[in-house]
Amino acid sequence: MEHAVAVRARHLRVAIVRVAADDGAPEGLRLHVARRLGHLPATRECVEGRPRDLLAHAPPAITAQDEELADLARALAREVRLLAEDREAGELAVDADQERAPARVAPETLDAPRVAVEPIVAEVPVFDRSEIVQVELHEPAQDRPVAGTGLLHLDVRRALSRHPEPHATPFASARGRLAEMRLERTLIGMVHLPPLPGSPRWEGSMERATAAALDDARALVEGGIEALLVENYGDAPFTTGRVEPATVAAMGVIAAELRRALPKTPLGVNVLKNDARAALAVACAVGGRFIRVNVHAGAVVADQGIVQTDAYHTLRDRRLLGTDVKIFADVGGKHAQPLVPVELEQTARDLVHRGLADALVVSGPGTGRATPVADVKRVRLAVPDVPLLVGSGVTPETVAELLSLADGVIVGTSMKVQGDVRRPVDPARVEKLVAAARRR
């Protein structure tokens, strides 16, 4: 046993197994196997060398020395097996020089004292009015300062004029905001377009539709009207939301022709019933100065159904387009009633402070219907610093009184032949209304 530790466990185990397992009885032992097991006394004869007849008729003689050797082999086999198992359990998968200490992972203590972290500041130059932000890693995200975007600052309250009045502020008077249009007793004439491509009454000729719009526009401007507002009046019935692409394309073509023929006249766009985003796109494409939005705050019930605001996307489109097109928003709107009762004053304040409208329009119950003077006064008192226009029912008999309360009027029906909105503009009627408006 003293030599067993020095022998590889696997070799010693194989030798013992051959002795103890394969030849469990001492008859099968050879002398040379016994000698290899250590300093053991060897037997003087090999039992396997005896004649087979003797083995068949008489049991082999078992000496005390053979029994002692067999017992020793069995005991040694058990000891070697235990030694080999212990050795294999302790062997490593890698060599000793490749062994690494295992990582020690301990749970984090929640109430452990915090270590102050120095602010990380990027030392880079400043470009395009951007700002460097100091962010402390242990500072709550909601308290961190926000970097400047470096984008063009668009003040939606600037005047339509490219040369605003001296010392004008973003919240200057109504007349200061829309100086170039001289929104002071201003007359805006309607250009009611005939049916456009895709509408039920479309006649199939863009040339005739464009020519009719140009004739009305020239008659209005030559008669003294100061600005124009084009809308797809002939496309009834209207949709409650976005119009078809054909409508937008046709209005863009006609609006471009109006701008080319009358480049000094401010032009506005209204896409019925309430597609402010399409109107904004057309105005931006052709150089329009403003759009009219029938429902810019809240929701109304109209002949199309429920029509509701899309101010969220309209204002974001205007910002993305980088344009200064103004928003003229109706307070209530024609051919519609509020979905729930809302005071006129509250609607006006919502349009200005939450819808960011640049001017408000007060109208009567429908096209050509008179606008109640009491409504004009109520809106004026609710938002006195916002430009205010009257949007329907203006006639030579009422225009002077309305302009004493409002900054401008939008006129259409009363300047058509025989006062019929479906007829062309009558130059004589235009001159009569303009004369009445200029009388002091």
Task: Tell whether 143 is covered by a domain.
Answer: no
Please check the confidence at residue 415 and state whether its pLDDT lies above 50: yes
Same domain, 57 and 199: no
pLDDT at 235 over 70: yes
Residues 423, 234 contacting (CB under 8 angstroms): no
Strand partners, 306: 301
β-sheet bridge partners, residue 192: 231
Q: For residue 119, tell me if it sits in a domain.
A: no
Q: Which parts of 265-332 are beta strand (E)?
A: 267-270, 290-293, 299-302, 305-308, 326-330
Q: For residue 126, is pLDDT > 90?
A: no
- Give a yes or no: residue 114 inside a domain: no
Mean pLDDT computed over 13-34:
47
Q: Is residue 287 part of a domain?
A: yes
Identify which of 139, 143, 172, 144 has the alpha carbon closest to the alpha carbon of residue 158. Answer: 172
Regarding whether 215 and 76 lie in a shared domain, the answer is no
Q: What is the pLDDT of residue 303?
A: 87
Interatomic CA distance for residues 199 and 202, integer angstroms: 5
Asked if residue 215 belongs to a domain, the reply is yes
Average pLDDT of every residue of the chain: 75
Q: What is the pLDDT, as a whole number, of residue 367?
A: 83
Q: What's the number of domains the chain is made of?
A: 2
The pLDDT value given to residue 420: 92
* pLDDT of 344: 93
- The predicted pLDDT at position 332 comes to 81
Q: Which parts of 7-114 fold into alpha helices (H)?
A: 9-17, 31-36, 52-57, 64-90
Higher pLDDT, 109 or 314: 314
Is 133 contained in some domain?
no
Query: Is 190 found in the same domain as 325?
Result: yes
If asked whether residues 289 and 396 sit together in one domain, one would say yes
Beta sheet of 299-302, edge-to-edge order: 305-308, 299-302, 336-338
For residue 285, name the pLDDT band (cuts at 50, 70, 90): very high
Query: Residue 74: inside a domain, yes or no?
Result: yes
Please identify, among 54, 72, 90, the residue that sits at the C-terminal boundary of a domain.
90
Q: Are residues 84 and 190 in the same domain?
A: no
Among 67, 90, 113, the domain boundary falls at: 90
pLDDT tens by residue, 73-84: 677 677 767 766
Using the predicted structure, report yes or no on whether residue 237 has a pLDDT greater than 50: yes
- For residue 238, what is the DSSP state? P
Whether the pLDDT of residue 115 is over 90: the answer is: no
**Is residue 186 in a domain?**
yes
CB 389 within 8 Å of CB 411: no
In this prediction, residue 265 carries a pLDDT of 96
pLDDT for the residue 101: 52
Domain identity same for 181 and 70: no
Last residue of a domain, one of 55, 90, 125: 90
How large a percentage of the chain has pLDDT more than 90? 52
Strand-strand pairing, 359-362 and 388-390? parallel
**Overall average pLDDT of the 323-348 stretch:** 90
Task: Supply the pLDDT for residue 198.
Answer: 94
pLDDT digits (tens, 9 = 90+) for 141-185: 344 333 332 322 333 333 343 333 333 333 333 333 444 445 678
Domain containing 61 equals: 9-90
Q: Sign of dihedral through CA atoms 329, 335, 341, 344? A: positive
272-310 b/e with 16+ CB inside 10 Å = b?
bbbbbbbbbbbbbbbebbbbbbbbbbbebebebeebebb
Mean pLDDT to the nearest integer, 93-109: 49
pLDDT, residue 90, reads 57
Note the pLDDT of residue 339: 86
- Report the alpha-carbon distance of residue 243 to residue 248 in Å, rounded: 7
pLDDT digits (tens, 9 = 90+) for 51-66: 444 444 455 555 666 6
Nearest to 236 by CA among 422, 424, 410, 369: 422
Q: What are phi and psi of 248, to 5 degrees?
A: -65, -40
Cα–Cα distances in angstroms (integers) from residue 411 to residues 1, 43, 251, in the given order: 122, 137, 20
pLDDT tens digits, residue range 195-233?
A: 999 999 999 999 999 999 999 999 999 999 999 999 999
pLDDT exceeds 80 at position 110: no
- Residues 82 and 183 placed together within one structural domain of the fold: no
Whether residue 311 sits in one domain with residue 405: yes
CATH assignment at residue 220: 3.20.20.70
Residue 72 predicted with pLDDT over 80: no
The SS3 call for residue 298 is coil
pLDDT at position 336, please? 78
pTM equals: 0.61
The 3-state DSSP composition of the chain as helix, strand, coil percent (nearest 5) reads: 40, 10, 50
Same domain, 390 and 260: yes
Predicted confidence at residue 148, as pLDDT, reads 33
Query: Across the chain, which distance is largest between two alpha carbons, in Å?
Result: 156
